[in-house]
């Protein structure tokens, strides 16, 4: 990301009203689960106590009917721990500083809270959001209507946040949300902000593009009421990005709600975050050393570098997965591994920083829409990205930090669902890194056993199996193509009727057949075909 000439010196970063920094008080603190149970505080939280407001359902938050309807459509019945601890405060407009493990619904906290507070008329007018002259004419009707600014460190995460706003605002007539990011022409963003009928009430973007729009006077910050920073540790740990975030922040009104979120937040980053907030509600659902994901199985496999491809091949052949993400350490390795998988008849897709922005978004959308089941990725895809069907993560290359490990494996087992994370350990450095992960998160990661009970890492009945191609012959079926656990295998075999049917979840996941209507002669109803499969 390129920076403008007006970059803020490192020593001046995050000194917003520094004279008041020591006066910032913490209104409320939710202690870690460990401290709450023991009655002790290890010092990381020692700023008070809190009796949680528990909610059995989203209706207990008194959200707008339109929001509750969208929540119901999304299939959510009960809020997660971080949601029922945070939303009651966030919807009142107070500042929020939130740390909670990956996959527990932090994005929904600020999305629902912002939408609850937005007052948008059916014609798209934001109450109090547009300045007018004495004659009633709107002054700068575009920029003044941006009420919420969301910032993320990657384009993909910004795109996902925008989609979440759209999902929960679909019944809120008139609400508009847009996303802006670098790597594409800025003219589109400028035109959108200048058009009163298109200018969004909620704008999500990456720091560099937002700074460019503000400095070019295309984006007015005067109407900002909510300032949201997702994965705040990533946005603030690099000086150039921190400088951009501060420049954006200082261009907004002093009176606004500020909400910062992350799965990992060390003391240094936490102190930096506190420079931006006023009397925040601090929500630390669990302390940093206990950021484990319940329902996620974690194993390692000891092997040599040269054996990785063969082992990966075996895993994809034998494991039951809906979607899987394979993490590697570099762009070149992502490209090479993706090519290799496709050569081996594993239809995969790769995403990394070396792709054009439009191609990255297109590939992300393909994976999100379940057009592809296997993705090879660098750490670009390791933070915040939520693809709900992913139930397996494979660390083909060891992550370079414990934080990176947490965010990678957090792609599986989202929101308390079942999942499986497998890490390849090929060198002594890999062994040391795995030991660091186990020490920091106080978790024991055993060596992967020869077999794993499928029910432990995927939901029962989650997979659907169906016949899509067959050819009737006198003695059985002639099968032209069989897909087992993601691999396409051409062959020609005859099946005897008595041995042709097994229940879903056994060896076969998908059969191709040209004449499904012939299957009832095997004693199968067409409805049953969806839950059974023909195998050799």
Residue 150 to residue 159: CA distance in whole angstroms: 11
pTM: 0.55
Distance CA 266, CA 275 (A): 15
Q: pLDDT below 50 — which residues of the chain? A: 1-55, 129-134, 136-144, 288, 291, 460-536
- Sheet of 419-425: strand order equals 296-302, 419-425, 390-395, 323-327, 374-377, 348-351
Rounded to the nearest angstrom, the gap between the alpha carbon of residue 438 and the centroid of all alpha carbons in its chain is: 23
In 119-231, alpha helices (H): 155-168, 187-194, 207-215
CATH superfamily, with its number, for domain 296-456? P-loop containing nucleotide triphosphate hydrolases (3.40.50.300)
- Mark out the alpha helices in 380-427 (DSSP H runs): 402-409
pLDDT at residue number 155:
87
Tell me, what's the pLDDT at 178?
96
* Cβ contact 360:351 at 8 Å: yes
Q: Where are the beta strands (DSSP E) in 181-315?
A: 202-205, 226-230, 257-262, 281-284, 296-302
pLDDT for 233: 87
pLDDT at 134: 46
Domains in the chain: boundaries = 28-37+45-290, 296-456, 472-534
Whether CATH 3.30.70.100 fits 28-37+45-290: no
């Amino acid at each position: 990301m390129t920076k403008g000439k007006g970059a803020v010196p490192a020593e001046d970063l995050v000194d917003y009203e520094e004279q008041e920094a020591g006066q910032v008080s913490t209104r409320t603190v939710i202690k870690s689960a460990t401290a709450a149970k023991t009655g002790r505080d290890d010092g990381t939280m020692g700023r008070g106590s809190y009796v949680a407001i528990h909610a059995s359902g989203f209706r207990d938050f008194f959200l707008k009917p339109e929001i509750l309807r969208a929540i119901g459509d999304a299939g959510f019945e009960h809020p997660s721990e971080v949601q029922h601890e945070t939303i009651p405060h966030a919807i009142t407009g107070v500042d929020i500083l939130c740390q909670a493990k990956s996959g527990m619904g932090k994005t929904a906290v600020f999305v629902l809270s912002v939408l609850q507070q937005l007052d948008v008329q059916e014609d798209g007018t934001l109450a109090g959001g547009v300045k007018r002259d004495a004659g009633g004419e709107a002054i700068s009707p575009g920029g003044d209507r941006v009420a919420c600014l969301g910032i993320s460190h990657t384009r993909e995460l910004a795109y996902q946040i925008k989609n979440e706003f759209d999902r929960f605002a679909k019944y809120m007539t008139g609400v508009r949300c847009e996303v802006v990011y670098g790597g594409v022409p800025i003219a589109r963003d400028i035109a959108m902000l200048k058009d009163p009928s298109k200018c969004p009430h909620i704008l999500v973007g990456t720091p560099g593009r937002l700074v460019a729009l503000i400095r070019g006077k295309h984006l007015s910050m005067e109407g900002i009421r909510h300032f949201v920073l997702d994965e705040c540790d990533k946005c603030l740990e690099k000086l150039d990005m921190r400088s951009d975030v501060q420049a954006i922040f200082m261009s907004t009104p002093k009176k606004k709600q500020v909400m910062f979120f992350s799965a990992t937040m060390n003391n240094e980053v936490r102190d930096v975050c506190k420079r931006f907030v006023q009397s925040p509600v601090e929500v630390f659902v669990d302390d940093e050393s206990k950021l484990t994901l319940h329902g996620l199985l974690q194993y390692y496999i000891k092997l040599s570098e040269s054996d990785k491809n063969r082992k990966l091949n075996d895993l994809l052949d034998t494991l039951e997965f809906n979607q899987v993400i394979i993490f590697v350490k570099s762009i070149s390795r992502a490209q090479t591994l993706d090519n290799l998988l496709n050569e081996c008849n594993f239809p995969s897709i790769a995403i990394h920083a070396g792709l054009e922005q439009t191609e990255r978004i297109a590939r992300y959308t393909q994976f999100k829409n379940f057009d592809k089941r296997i993705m090879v990725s660098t750490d670009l895809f390791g933070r915040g990205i939520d693809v709900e069907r992913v139930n397996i993560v494979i660390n083909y290359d060891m992550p370079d930090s414990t934080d990176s490990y947490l965010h990678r494996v957090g792609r599986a087992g989202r929101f308390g669902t079942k999942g499986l994370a497998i890490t390849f350990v090929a060198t002594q450095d890999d062994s040391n890194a795995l030991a660091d992960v186990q020490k920091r998160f106080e978790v024991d990661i055993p060596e992967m056993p020869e077999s794993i009970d499928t029910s432990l890492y995927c939901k029962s009945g989650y997979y659907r199996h169906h016949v899509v191609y067959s050819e009737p012959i006198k003695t059985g079926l002639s099968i032209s193509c069989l897909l087992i656990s993601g691999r396409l295998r051409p062959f020609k075999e005859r099946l005897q009727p008595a041995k042709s049917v097994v229940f879903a979840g056994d060896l076969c996941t998908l059969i191709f057949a040209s004449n499904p209507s012939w299957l009832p002669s095997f004693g199968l109803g067409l409805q049953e075909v969806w839950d059974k499969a023909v195998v050799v």
